[in-house]
Structure 1
Amino acid sequence: MELLLETVALFCLKLAYETEDSSPILRDDPIMSDYEREVFGLLVRRGDIEGIQFRVAHCVSLAMDAIGSVDTPLGRELHRLSADFRNAQKMEQLEEPVIALKDYLKDIQ
């Protein structure tokens, strides 16, 4: 789960901050410090669903701004997928929506 969460954060930050003429954002970049696998791992071990959702929501918000908000087809789909993630009430309910988010963000890179 931690790797999936880190990947979602990475793809969001890539959409938000990466440009064609710059170096790619990598997992070990300083911008990823709050979204590292270890940070998510601690939240998962604690069962802190709200903490996980808060961190992912922040990243998704940055990605949403980068793709033009919910006024665009890409933004509407990202909003729908992130709503499924936000609505999860138990740790077991996070896996399917986070996989869908990861796959979608990967596709729109």
Structure 2
Amino acid sequence: MELLLETVALFCLKLAYETEDSSPILRDDLVMGDYEREVFGLLVRRGDVEGIQRKVGECLSLALNAIGGVDTVLGRELHRLSANLNATQTMERLNAPIIALKIYLKNIL
């Protein structure tokens, strides 16, 4: 799950900060420091659903702003998927909304 969470964060940060004329954001870039696999791994091992939601939410907020907010078609869907993640209350149920976010973010990149 840590890799999946890191991937969602990476895709969000790519949307927020990557431009056509710059080099791509990679997993080892400084901007990924608070969202790397080890950070998510600690939250997963603790079973900290709220911590995971908060950390992913930070990235999703950046991505949502980058695509124009909730008043756009892309933004409404991202907001809906984010709400699904935030409604999850157990570690066992986190996988499906995280996978949905990853697929959606990958498609809009």
Q: TM-score, normalised by structure 2?
A: 0.99
Trace 1:49-64 onto structure 2 (pairs within 5 A).
49-64=49-64
Report the AA paired with residue 53 of structure 1: Q
Give the distance between the partners of 2:89 and 2:51, measured in 1 at CA.
12
Q: 1:87: how far off?
A: 0.6
Trace 1:61-100 onto structure 2 (pairs within 5 A).
61-100=61-100
Q: 1:36: how far off?
A: 0.4
Report the AA paired with residue 70 of structure 2: V
Q: 1:38: how far off?
A: 0.7
- Tell me, what secondary structure is at the counterpart of 1:71? coil
Write the deviation string for residues 4-63 of structure 1: whole angstroms up to 9, x where unpaired.
100000000000000000000000000001100111001000001111000100000000
The corresponding residue for 1:43 is 43
| Identical-pair percentage | 76
The corresponding residue for 1:9 is 9
Give the distance between the partners of 1:33 and 1:51, measured in 2 at CA.
16
Moved over 6 A (4+): none
Q: How many residues align?
A: 109
- Tell me, what secondary structure is at the counterpart of 1:69? coil
Give the distance between the partners of 1:34 and 1:48, measured in 2 at CA.
16
- Tell me, what secondary structure is at the counterpart of 1:58? helix
Report the AA paired with residue 52 of structure 1: I
Give the distance between the partners of 2:57 and 2:97, measured in 1 at CA.
13
RMSD of aligned Cα (Å): 0.4
Give the distance between the partners of 1:2 and 1:86, measured in 2 at CA.
17
Report the AA paired with residue 89 of structure 2: Q
